[in-house]
Structure 1
């Protein structure tokens, strides 16, 4: 293990002239294209007949939602780079060329999504008694009911807009459902028909359940877009509807607040949120049958190039069919329910943690101990202070409620709230206000750096001394995602870890100078260099003829210096196994560079979210868990924590469950090939089938 005072000087590990080969763009995949490839792997779950039918539907919807977010954030950033210029990524792909590649690969993904829906899932669901009815398949009775529903529930909230000089093209909200209508004839004022826009308010459900008395089945559904298109003529009496085509525009959703120029980031963010839905357009989805002149008109109105168009063979908002999953009570079509493992001694959390470090492996271990620690701290007279980071916590968070209760009970409570958590900004502003009203000291982190660290600190008086209890994790303090994401959490009363966490909170809430941490690595100060040091140490072991190995698990990898360090280690003979859920810009298997590096991605029932980094260290292994991926933003532009697993038994469990178990997976594992494609791992003839997630369910929740 490195000594506590070992210098963490990034300059020691910067690239040298001998690394010129390692800068070759051909050694790096493009991050955006790699992220698209991840959604292909998600869609593969929807195409897998071994997955329960409604779970396949959910995977299809996840792939669609992920693609929406990709355009809102990643493609939007590429478009911005094209507009203003900027340095090329290590792969050397120019923004203009990248946008073209994004269009081609996203179009292929969209085609596969709708093929899966139209030809596979929709028919299979109908056969199982869960019907999503197409327009041409409605019976007369269903049509009558849907027309009445349109008149009673939909038409009163619609405001159709005929386009003319007095009614210019309206502002279209990001990802909203719209219908462009072609009209012929004259209205009551004698105005000639042309085009009209019908916008579907977000108050309307996108999926309509047809009553059993109408359909004769309890699980019949219709898309709102189909109802609008079918009865849109009722909005234009006396005129002939010659065509109705649904469309949806996706806009860049990345908020920009110049923190150096504002006095109050919360007020500035509220102003930005008000306009988020109308930022620059990046994608137009439109019905496949829409005439070219109308498509061109929409492109002009949204200032989009032709390659931004995606013609859709179905509903433009396909991801909204996810509502069917919750509306249908069919356990036979879903994954079997499971009960997360309870922690023994949960009624006395301080005693349990004081007796030894506690590992929580979610969702297999319950998230309840985290809530219980905070709840008991809020009620315990011996607890003096609670400090907490909050990145995403949900709208009705039990964590927030406990912090408010603690403040009302006289504890000194500090919450570091990250207002810029993407798509959770509004929710975070809301609960930050609630906590401040209750007496919680709310701070918004550090200007210019998102606070992504996951930490809780409880200070308790025990006899004549103060003792610190800590929870640190790889995932957010969100009870809902703790049932859906795989994450690792550590509860400990280790004095040095507690002191390190205390110092970081001081740094976040005050104006603390640089500091030396005993056990933790922290972005943007020591985590990047600390990882580079340990990778380089494995290289030195290999060069000296000693066994050397690295096993690392993360959500994404793109930091160039880390990648080059891994290449150098591979060249020296270090065996490297990387478990990377999503985007990976490292190219494995290149002779002379990365032939000792293997990259796999696991896609299964739960979203892989844990980060764990293991270094063999010549028989004295080090194991860390972290809030940070090996991404540039996490290592260099965020506040992150990376915490060691010091208890040997706990470290063994993390290695067995979260690393080795995943390297043994031969059912849900995809291997990244040197050419950039992912292939499902082939199971050897003599190997038993093994799913990492299923094995943990059986072992911990059985």
Structure 2
């Protein structure tokens, strides 16, 4: 009997995450991508890694400090994981800077875009920057000396700072140390008067640093970046009277979390580096020297200044289905379900669903969950308008959504101000489900209209995240969604759902049942198979069930963008499991769960990944596609992605992700195929519209004598 729990069958979660980030870095290396997009991919890897350090590495450090010895699925203690990932992260940082200095900066220079160092400036540029420094930077710079009466200052999270070693002009000692935070008021990248030449703000500060320390000689200055532990430990129990105030309080505390990582310029002397490490109380294992600009997120600021469409992906707008125009939206959804595949299908119909409901006199109530929304959300605006029009509007705002807490607290307050009933979810659980309910009076009946999605109600990220959504008026789904909101807003235990499955517990148990059913079919010689797409697989128990399915001979196809602790190709354990990862222009974010079911496939979409937190500690929804045409459409979408040989990496038995061999085969880029299909639909509808308009122009009037300007009199 195979022991599916054995650590040798599992990969460490954090190492798997680093492997994912390296796949993103690979897009920055790929010369087939437009140059500015490659630079953007590199910036994304830095943002990804920063968040990973602030949350995951910080969590490991906390476990080590508390003396936790519990091993992960791969058999490693927190101490072993922390040492392992700190070293691996250092190698990835080196790889990032190799991509920057050896590939991207030279390529940008060939296109005429140059990032200058201080010693490359012309005299005229120095004059320009001196004026800029004195007017824009000098008033906000605060040099902070470090001595017996002036202790080391607090350095905020995610800030760029300059460390300075000085010598007093009448002394020999070089013992004087100071730091100053690089201001963010003028942006990170400064455009020079000469076209296409730029300089980083920290270089400008260092150029005129001497003016801040009269009477002293600067012996050394260096740039460093600080990250802190940003986990938000919110008490969410019976002793917490007001969760909104608790989150606001913890947000302030979080800013002072322990320093978890420091990145310094490689030109830093050993003496100054040692001094800073001691003052910052950071582990030397998480102190990294880099050969280039500290903090690669400067690239995103620089890219905003480089308006060169030819070096970008072509502009793309998803298909906006004319069926779902405001005048016909509810009538169309009443007739049939609509599947939306974003961004290839526009997110506008989802926004319009709420906007139309807000102004429709037949709509009685709107209920909705919000996890992440944009800074100027049209959905928030529409919900406020609906409340002002006298409709019952209830919104669950998840104020514990990581790094969106402050934004969501703001929106919660704003919605309350406009008369919306705002709730903050179930005690002890994050609400990650994406669902909206519109209750409408039609003749002598009440009809429920529902949107269920795999992604957030964010009209901005919907343009570059791939997600799926369902618009339906199905009575059973509507009743289930109504029950969900009763659970979220009141005291309710419905006992069962007609069609939906809900975490905690419900989604896990349902997927277990479906896997068991496929195992039984495989053993009986019936058609069996599992096809799933999600962002991460880190739940050990779920992996064991997939191993059991493979052991029974069930073919398992998994498309996983990010983490997977599962291994493939292990005899008697995972021989029938294949894992693909697609990293491309759009961030793969949709979740699909499909089961062969003896030739009568079942297809579900969900807000949940197969992570312990999603299955056990969050409110998530998994919902079926009941219409055959929609099931077929999603299965076809999955198959298109499975055949991709451009942006797909295939997991190997040794744990590496390797691109498919394209020698002798046609290029098959799933995201580009979906873009082409979307453009074809747009072209088809435009052609039909043009034909309709042309026909209308030549239609005879029913009464040629009517003059609209005079009210119809002859």
Does the 8 A contact of 2:483 with 2:494 survive in 1?
no
Question: 450-459 or 343-352: which moved more?
Answer: 343-352
Which stretch has the larger CA shift, 308-317 or 498-507? 308-317
- Is 1:672 paired with 2:657? no
Q: Do 2:528 and 2:554's aligned partners in 1 also have CA atoms closer than 8 Å? A: yes
2:92 to 79, 85, 109: 109
Q: What's the TM-score, normalizing by structure 2?
A: 0.93
Q: In the aligned structure 1, how far is the partner of 2:97 from the partner of 2:603?
A: 43
Look up the SS of the partner of 1:595 in the other structure.
Answer: coil
Matched, 1:241 2:218: yes
1:207-241 CA distance string (max 9 Å, x none): 11112xxx2x2x22211122122221121122111
Q: Which has the larger radius of gyration?
A: 2
**Does 2:60 correspond to 1:78?**
yes
Q: 1:93 aligns with which of 76, 88, 99?
A: 76
For 1:100 and 1:192, the matched residues in 2 are separated by 35
Whether the 8 Å CA contact 2:344–2:674 is kept in 1: the answer is yes
Give the aligned partner of residue 421 of structure 1.
401
Aligned to 2:690: none
- 2:33 aligns with 51
Q: Which residue of the partner structure matches residue 160 of structure 1?
A: 143
- Give how far 1:513 is off: 2.2
Number of the residue aligned with 1:613: 593
Matched, 1:204 2:182: no
1:315 has 2:322 as partner: no
CA contact (8 A) 1:255 1:276 kept: yes
Q: Distance in 1 between matches of 2:242 and 2:678?
A: 47
Q: C-alpha root-mean-square deviation of aligned residues, in Å?
A: 1.5
Structure 1 partner of 2:439: 459
Residue 227 (structure 2) pairs with residue 250 (structure 1): yes
| Runs of 5+ unmatched residues, structure 2 | 681-714
Q: Which residue of 2 aligns with 1:195?
A: 177
Query: How far 1:538 moved relative to its partner?
Result: 0.6
Q: Find out whether 1:183 has 2:166 as its counterpart.
A: yes
Q: Is the 8 Å Cα contact of residues 70 and 78 (structure 2) preserved in structure 1? A: no
Aligned mates of 1:298, 1:529 — CA distance in 2: 51
Residue 525 (structure 1) shift: 3.1
Distance of 2:631 and 2:267 partners within structure 1:
58
More divergent stretch after superposition (92-101 vs 620-629):
92-101
CA drift of 1:350 comes to 0.3
The alignment status of 1:268 with 2:268, answered yes or no, reads no
Q: Which residue of 1 aligns with 2:429?
A: 449
Please, which of 128, 153, 156 is the counterpart of residue 170 of structure 1? 153
Matched, 1:35 2:17: yes
* Structure 1 residue 683, shift from structure 2 partner: 2.1
What do residues 21-64 of structure 1 show as CA deviations (whole Å, max 9, x unaligned)? Answer: 10000111111110011110001001011100000000000001
- Per the alignment, residue 383 of structure 2 pairs with 403
Measure the CA separation in 2 of the matches of 1:148 and 1:694. 48
Give 1:14's aligned residue: none
Find the residue that maps to 1:278 and give its secondary structure: coil
What residue number does 2:676 align with? Answer: 698
Checking the alignment, whether the CA contact within 8 Å between 1:451 and 1:638 is kept in structure 2 is yes
The answer (yes or no) to whether the contact 2:227–2:262 under 8 Å persists in 1 is yes
State the distance in 2 between where 1:390 and 1:405 align: 17
Q: Do structure 1's residue 297 and structure 2's residue 275 form an aligned pair?
A: yes
Distance 1:320 1:532 in 2: 45
Alignment length (residue pairs) = 676
- State the Cα deviation string for residues 333-379 of structure 1 (Å, max 9, x = none): 00001121011222321011111000110001000001111111000
Query: What TM-score, normalized by structure 1, do the two folds share?
Result: 0.94
- Structure 1 residues 680-695: aligned runs within 5 Å: 680-685=659-664, 687-695=665-673
Residue 256 of structure 2 is matched in structure 1 by 278
State the Cα deviation string for residues 55-112 of structure 1 (Å, max 9, x = none). 0000000001101011001111111111221532111111111112112211111111
Which residue in 2 is equivalent to 1:540? 520
What displacement does 1:514 show?
Answer: 5.0
Partner of 2:51: 69
Deviation of residue 655 (structure 1)? Answer: 1.2
- Whether 1:520 aligns to 2:497 is no
Q: Give the conservation status (yes or no) of the 8 Å contact 1:186–1:192.
A: no
Q: 4+ residue stretches of structure 1 with deviation over 3 A?
A: 190-193
Q: Please give the alpha-carbon distance, in whole angstroms, between the structure 2 residues aligned to 1:187 and 1:220.
A: 40
The aligned counterpart of 1:499 is: 479
Asked if 1:662 corresponds to 2:644, the answer is no
For residues 266-296 of structure 1, the C-alpha deviation after alignment (integer angstroms, 9 at most, x for no partner) is 0011111113222011111111121223222
- Report if the CA contact (8 A) 2:69-2:77 is conserved: no
Deviation at 1:136, TM superposition (A): 2.8
SS in 1 for 2:279: helix
Match of 1:559 in 2: 539
Distance in 1 (CA, whole Å) between partners of 2:255 and 2:39 is 27
Q: Aligned-pair distance for 1:515? A: 2.4
Which moved further from structure 2: 500-509 or 676-685? 676-685
The structural deviation recorded for 1:151 is 1.6
Q: Secondary structure at the match of 1:259?
A: coil
1:548 to partner: Cα distance: 1.0
- The alpha carbon displacement at 1:143 in A equals 2.0
Summarize the Cα distance change of 1:649–1:694 in structure 2 as closer, same or farther, 3 Å threshold: same
After the TM superposition, which of the residue ranges 92-101 and 200-209 deviates more from structure 2? 200-209
Question: Which secondary structure does the structure 2 equivalent of 1:675 belong to?
Answer: coil
3-state DSSP class of the match of 2:233?
coil
Q: Which residue of 1 aligns with 2:353?
A: 373
Q: Deviations over 1:115-169 (max 9, x none)?
A: 1111110111111022222233222222221222112111110010111122110
8 Å contact kept, 1:158–1:200: yes
Task: Tell me if 1:137 matches 2:120.
Answer: yes
Report whether the alignment pairs 1:474 with 2:454: yes
CA contact (8 A) 2:532 2:593 kept: yes
